[in-house]
Amino acid sequence: MAGLLIEENFQHLDGVEVEELIEAFEDLGLSAEPTGPRGTQPRHGWVLQLHLLREDATLLTQEFLSGPLADAVRGVLLRQHAVGVGGTSVRERTLPLRVEIRGRDGRALATVPLGGGR
């Protein structure tokens, strides 16, 4: 069972990025899987929503969130990759305003500002 769910957001993430986020989180010791949208996005900007399935939230230290976790998200979402038929174009992504981590009950456990937008 996954310890973390990555909420899909087809306006801001594609399948390649979700897979790369899964791999990046696994490198941090977090097993992750994608999940469908569960909430609403803010009217301006976007927020990467993660859902922690573990009861133990001790990994959510400010040091871990603002360091390795934020670096993993930036590393994936700032990397350009080929898209389209034959990979003929390159997609350039923006960072989310923040990463929100929610518990099993949907309440916010932590927020990591990333300073992105759009």
pLDDT above 60 for 118: no
Residue 42: how many other CB atoms lie within 10 Å: 10
pLDDT above 60 for 1: no
The pLDDT value given to residue 38: 80
Specify if 118 maps to a domain.
Answer: no
Expressed as residue numbers, the domain containing 21 is 4-113
Specify if 50 maps to a domain.
Answer: yes
pLDDT band at 71 (very low <50, low <70, confident <90, very high): very high
Q: What is the pLDDT of residues 8-36, one digit of tens each?
A: 888 888 888 999 999 999 999 999 999 98
**Domain count across the chain:** 1
Q: Is 0.75 surpassed by the pTM of this model?
A: yes
